[in-house]
Structure 1
Amino acid sequence: GILSPEAHDFSLDDEFDSDDDSEAEGHYEDFSSDQDSGSDNEGLGGASSLGGSSAKSAKKERFFWQYNVQSKGPKGQRLVLSTKQEDPHCLNEITDPVFSPGCSLQGIKHSGKARKGDGNDLTPNPRKLNSIGMELDKLQRHITDMTPVSELPVNVRPKTRKEKNKLASRACRLKKKAQHEANKIKLVGVECEHKRLMIGIHQVKEQLVTMCRVTEPQERAELAAKCDKIVRHATKVKVAGQTTDFVNKILDKVKSGIPNGGLDEFHS
C-alpha cells in the first residue's frame, strides 16, 4: 500500500542524530533494488534461477540508485484512497498525498505546515542523479579507508564509530535521493512509451478502417506498409520492463556529455 512520508527531511546538508546513525551503516551496505531489477530480466533477471553463484553476481550488479527499504514493516499510517472506476488507457495526474486536499490521512496530525522540497518537483534531472552517484563513491571510499573500529584503542572507538555511522547515514540518505531521481527518469520514459503506443493504436485503427473500404490490392498493400511504419515508430521507445537499463543508458549519456542524458530525444 501507499505510505505516508516520514517526518525526516532527507536534505543533502542535514545533520544526523546519533540515535539514527547506529543502524545506518547496515543500510548503506545493502544495495538492493526497488523490485525493478528482479522483474525486468535485464542482466539480473534470470540470475536467481541459475544457482548460488549467479545470484551472487546479480547482487553485485545492483546500482547505486537502487535503494532497499529494510524489512521492518511500514512506517507511518496508511493513506485512505477513494475507489473509483478509471480509464486504464489514460494516465492519472501525479498527486502528492501530503498537499492534496482530496487525499485524507488516517491517524496523522501535522504539528505544523508541511514544507515542499525538491522532491515534489517531478522534472527528471539525470545530471543530479549522476552527481549523487559520484558523491556516494567518495563517501564509500572515505568509509573504506577508515581504520576498522576493532583495530583502534578502546578509548577512541566510540568517537570513530559515531563518525563512521554519520558518513554511512549520509550515504543512506543520498541513496534515497538517488532512487527518487531514478524514479523520475523512469516515469518520463514510461509516459513517453505509453503516449507513443496510444497514438500508434489510434493511427493503426484508422488505417484498418480504410483498408476495409478499399478493394484494390495495390492500395491495400500501401496501407499495410503504412501500418508497419506506424508500428515501428510506436514501439521505438521500450522502457516498461527494462527500466533499469533505461536509467543506466541515460546516466551513460550524461557521463559522455549529452545534455539532459538525451531525454529530450524521447519526446520527438
Structure 2
Amino acid sequence: MEIVAMSQNLGPGAWRSQNGIFEDRWPALAATIQRVQPDILMLQEAEGWPADGHARLIRAEADLEMDGVLAPSPSGLGPAIFYRRATMGRRTYQNHDYSAHETHHGFETLGWNLPVLPATLPAGSVHLTPYGGPRAESQVSFIGTRVLRPGVGYAILGGDFNYAPVAGPPPLVGAMRPYNKGSRLKVTDPESPGPDEPDRAVAWRIARKGFVDVAWHLYKQTGDEELLRRTATDDRIDWILISFALAPCIVDYGVVEGGSDHAGVWARLDLSLAATDNVWEYK
C-alpha cells in the first residue's frame, strides 16, 4: 500500500496588493496541492480558517476532495491536517491535549488503522515557534512524543520547522533577515563574532526522538542534491519526517512550488515495507 504525505505552509490566505485590492491565493495553492495528490496533507498558517463557520476549511475540503481538521491555535496561525478517506479510511484517532500550552501555533494528531500495519498510523502538522531554538526544541520534543504514542512507533510529521535541517548545505546567510539570524544561527559573541553556523539542535532533537528526515535519508542513498533544495528564502526549513520503523517505506520525495513563499514537500511511502518487529528499536 503506497501513500503520499505532503506538507505546505500556506502563507497568508490573502494579501493586499499595491493597488489596495485583496487577492485570493487559495486557487494557486490548491492547484499546487492537486499536482501532488496527497493522501495525508499537513498545512501550516491556516489563518482565518475557523472564521465564518469554518468557510475556508469547507472550501478546501471541497476543492481537494479530502477531509480536514484544524488544530486549536494560540497564535491564530494554526496547522491543519487533511486526509483522503478513499485511501486512509475514517480517522480512528484524534488528540490535541496540552498543545495550546506546549506549542506556539498549536498541534493536532490524527491517526488511521490500516490493514497493512499492526498499529495505528498517526500524523501531525508542525509549525514551530520562530523566536528561538530552546523554546522550539521543547515544542518539537513534545510533538515527537505525542505523535509517537498512539502509533506504538509509527508516525509521520510534516511542517515548517523554522530551523536548519539535520544536515546538508549551509543556509544562505546573506538572504536571512536579522531576526532569523538570531534564531537560526548559533549564537556568538557580537563583539567578536565567529563564523555563521546553522543551529541544528531542533533537527537533532527530533532525530534523537526516533525520526528520519526523508529528504536527507534519500540523499545519503542517491547523492541527488536536488533533494536538498531550499524550501524558503534561506534554508530547507520544511520537512517530512517519519519514525525509524517507516524508514524502509521511503519510495520517493519531491519539492513543489506555487502560491506560497514556502515550497511544498512530499514523500511517497510503501507501508507494506514497514518494520513490524521491535519497532521502537528499529534503525
- TM bin, normalised by shorter chain, reads under 0.3
Higher relative contact order (CA 8 A, sep 6+): 1
TM-score (norm 2): 0.21
Judging by fraction of residues, say which structure has more helix: 1
Judging by fraction of residues, say which structure has more strand: 2
Greater C-alpha radius of gyration: 1
